[in-house]
Amino acid sequence: MKAWINIFWLGRKELRSVFSDAVMVVLILYSFSLAIYSQATATSESVNNASVAIVDEDNSTLSRAIANALYPPYFKTPELISASEVDPSMDLDHFMFVIEIPPQFEEDVRKGRQPSVKINIDATAVTQAALGNQYIQNIIVDEVNHFINRSDKTTSYPVTQVQRRAFNPNGTGMWFGAMNALINQISLITIILTGAALLREREHGTIEHLLVMPLNSFQIVMSKVWANGLIILVAFTLSMQLVVETILDVPISGSRILLLSGTTLYLLAAAAIGIFLGTIARTMAQFALLMIMVIVPITMLSGGLTPVESQPEIIQPMTWLLPSRHYMSFAQAVVFRGADLSIIWPQLLIITGLGAIFFSASLALFRRSIATSH
């Protein structure tokens, strides 16, 4: 009982240390507010306000119909330019797309010929360029078919294909972007807080003061884990309610209590990684370099940016060793699919097991580090 009381009081000291560091407080506030909002809204899975120009050398009813079909919010209002302005305009980044409609385009369509429409694309914005090109091609084909048929007549097929979009009917990419950003911030800030807390004790020489007290390594490590974990858990809860649900309007289908419980288990694993890195590093500079080596695979291989099944086959088995992969799967199942404990218990079990392994390894390394330094 006395050991847990010591852990409680040491954790309170850690809380005061964190809140007295203005830079750390600002980092936490930014990471769970503006960072999540910007990451969720910065990337789009649809074309948005793409700049487009048209070289209309036909000036016919059909060419004007194509121009009128390019409208906001997908495209900006098209601008008419001459053929000589195409290359300079593209070089100066004035337009992402330039559509060149050749002379006698409508006449060739009427006579059943196959005239070509040239689409110039600024492919420096890869995603928008690829999506916008597909949009423009579909628009041109639809307008030509409508012009030929003089109606919106559709072809009747013997088989009707019906699509049902589950869990995200409107295909809003921001929903997944918000959760992916939030989970990545949990991993990043938890590792930073716990690792920096250990290094701060070492650099200030206060860890020697702790060792002369009736404390052991477990109590020192555990106090930092619960204190920093509590900060992240509170920040996560507030971010979910204020940023994700209120501002970004992302619906939470599952149990919030279950989500918080799984997050608590994941915080143990992430904090253990921070303790491990903080024990290896001797300075904050070394810790920052180690962070880069660790946080990149944790983020890239978690399944938030790309599904694990889409990653190279040689890497997929390695992702099983990352708690972030299982936590991402757990969080998406609870938030988007409304999964209950009977469905996501394997992920929780794996997170708990990996967290226990990482914590034990970090504690053993910390004890060894103390023993060799004294």
pLDDT digits (tens, 9 = 90+) for 26-54: 999 999 999 999 888 876 667 778 899 99
Q: Which two tokens stand for residue 152?
A: 């919106």
Q: Where in the chain is the domain with CATH 3.40.1710.10?
A: 52-149
Instruction: Quick: pLDDT tens for 273-283.
Output: 998 898 888 88
Contacting residues for 265 by C-beta, under 8 A, at least 6 apart: 348, 351, 352, 355
E-strand ranges in 146-243 read none
Angle at 161 between CA 159 and CA 163, to 5 degrees: 170
Structure confidence at residue 11 (pLDDT): 84
User: How many CA atoms, within 13 angstroms, populate the side-chain half-sphere of residue 275?
Assistant: 30
User: How far, in whole angstroms, is CA 134 from its chain's centroid?
Assistant: 25
Secondary structure letter of residue 125 according to DSSP = S
Per-residue model confidence (pLDDT) at position 208: 60
How many helices (H) and strands (E) the chain has is answered by 14, 4
Spatial separation of the C-alpha atoms in residues 344 and 341, rounded to whole Å = 5
pTM exceeding 0.85: no
The pLDDT tens digits for 53-111 are 999 999 999 999 999 999 888 898 999 999 899 999 988 888 999 999 999 999 998 88
Dihedral (CA of 243, 246, 248, 254) sign: positive
Q: Which two tokens stand for residue 107?
A: 């006449």
Burial class (CB in 10 A: 0-12, 13-18, 19+), 96: buried
- Is residue 258 very low, low, confident or very high in pLDDT (cuts 50, 70, 90)? very high
Assigned token pair, 91: 């070089």
Crossing angle between the packed helical segments 341-373 and 217-239, to the nearest 10 degrees: 140
What is the average pLDDT score of the chain? Answer: 86
Q: Count CB-CB contacts under 10 A for residue 277.
A: 26
Mean pLDDT of 340-363: 91
pLDDT at position 150: 72
User: C-alpha distances in angstroms, 13 versus 7, 18, 194, 243?
Assistant: 10, 9, 14, 30
CATH architecture for the domain at 52-149: 3-Layer(aba) Sandwich (3.40)
Q: What's the token pair of residue 126?
A: 């890869």
Confidence band of 152 (pLDDT split at 50, 70, 90): low
